[in-house]
Amino acid sequence: MDTRIFWRECRSLSKAGYEVYIVAHDVPSEACEGVQFVDLPPQFTRRALLTRPDRAAGFFAKLNGDVYHFHDPDLLPVAGLMGRKEQIVIYDCHEWYYESFPYKGYPQIITKVVQLGYRLVERNTIHNLSAIITPSEELATVYKDRAKLVVPLRNFAPIDLFTGGIPDRERQEYDLIHVGVLSRPRLSFMLDVIREVHRRGRQLTLLLLGVSLELRAWIDEQSDVAAYVTSLDRVPVDQVPTIMHSARIGLNYHPYQTRLMVAIPIKVFEYMGCGLPFVSSALPPLKSILGDKGAGILVESNEIEAFADAILALLDNRQLRAKMGKRGRECVEQMYNWEAESAKLVELYEMLLCRTR
């Protein structure tokens, strides 16, 4: 039920008239939103997919799909093998995996081996694929000279998830909200921002949505700020906007690492869709898209003080928050929504299918 795979792409293809199946481990037993599910047999472990891709390819071929749309990098060998057999095969590359491996926590020697292996797999499979999809223009440039076709589909949220409109500003309980998965270093930075604001004589509250139990326990150990942080488990995607409306400002922080220089943090656009101004790291794709839109503050520095300055600038100016929130909502309605991106996905499918007719 991944937000990009299910809530964006599969729902859109189903609405466009395609018969859509998600093949994965531990899938729901019933169809949802017009999307059906196929349980991937347990013998197809990560190791099996990498070492015996022919077996998985045989299983997928029996499903008689017209288009095979792969997402997991572990499935690249399977995708490449099926591409050789003149199947329509798409690889949806969610992030710059080669540059991401050093941050997975493996020992350095293992990281080097994994990077080398991944590069070899990419080199031997990409030319067999019908198309590669990326979530940003910047990541598309990594593959444009190596693949037959590269299509950037930005992971903007569907407009229908934000039918609640502008939040009730009288009921905003929290100063900040962060939505989505967090690493400890990123969370530690946010807690340091809270400390900095408190040092300046202001209390600051933060709502975290989708934080692991491990990180929640770690927050409780931070006695000086724990009382100012509320964390919630993951909730269904369609309930997120209601929770967002309980905050004044959406927060996004990412360190300036190579792997993130091609990333678009979709939570920023979710904040905008809910009418919240944002404070975010100024990653290049965000600067390119939102730099002149006036929907929030892009912080050029990775310094704690710079984030504290930006947050206080918004908290101290209610009119500015309202103006930025309204502008962000307008941008989502007019430009930065999945409905606009999904048309490109349907067009890609139609083009690839026309070539085989």
**pTM reported for the whole predicted model:** 0.84
268 lies in the same domain as 176: yes
Query: Measuring CA to CA, how many Å separate 224 from each of 176, 185, 191, 221?
Result: 18, 18, 10, 9
126 lies in the same domain as 219: no
CATH number of the domain bearing residue 195: 3.40.50.2000
62 lies in the same domain as 115: yes
| Domain with 188 in it | 159-334
CA dist., res. 16 & res. 343, Å (int): 9
173 lies in the same domain as 280: yes
Band (pLDDT 50/70/90 cuts) for residue 39 is very high
Band (pLDDT 50/70/90 cuts) for residue 236 is confident
Question: Is residue 160 over pLDDT 80?
Answer: no
Band (pLDDT 50/70/90 cuts) for residue 294 is very high
Band (pLDDT 50/70/90 cuts) for residue 235 is confident
279 lies in the same domain as 352: no
134 lies in the same domain as 39: yes
26 lies in the same domain as 67: yes
CA dist., res. 272 & res. 150, Å (int): 28
Identity at 114, one-letter amino acid code:
V
Mean pLDDT, the chain, integer: 91
CA dist., res. 94 & res. 40, Å (int): 21
Find how far residue 12's CA is from the centre of its chain.
17
Question: Is residue 166 over pLDDT 60?
Answer: no
pLDDT in tens, 322-352: 999 999 999 999 999 999 899 999 999 999 9
110 lies in the same domain as 195: no
Predicted local distance difference test score (pLDDT) of residue 161: 72
Structural domains counted in the chain: 2
Percent of the chain with pLDDT over 70: 97
Beta bridge partners of 36: 21
Find how far residue 208's CA is from the centre of its chain.
16
336-357 burial code (b ≥16 CB/10 A, e <16) = bbbeebbeebbebbeebeeeee
327 lies in the same domain as 237: yes
270 lies in the same domain as 312: yes
Band (pLDDT 50/70/90 cuts) for residue 296 is very high
Percent of the chain with pLDDT over 90: 71
Task: For residue 126, give the nearest of 187, 181, 94, 83 by alpha carbon.
Answer: 83
pLDDT in tens, 57-91: 999 999 999 999 999 999 999 999 999 888 899 99
167 lies in the same domain as 290: yes
172 lies in the same domain as 105: no
What residues have CB less than 8 Å from 279, skipping those under 6 apart?
176, 249, 250, 251, 252, 296, 297, 299, 307, 310, 311, 314
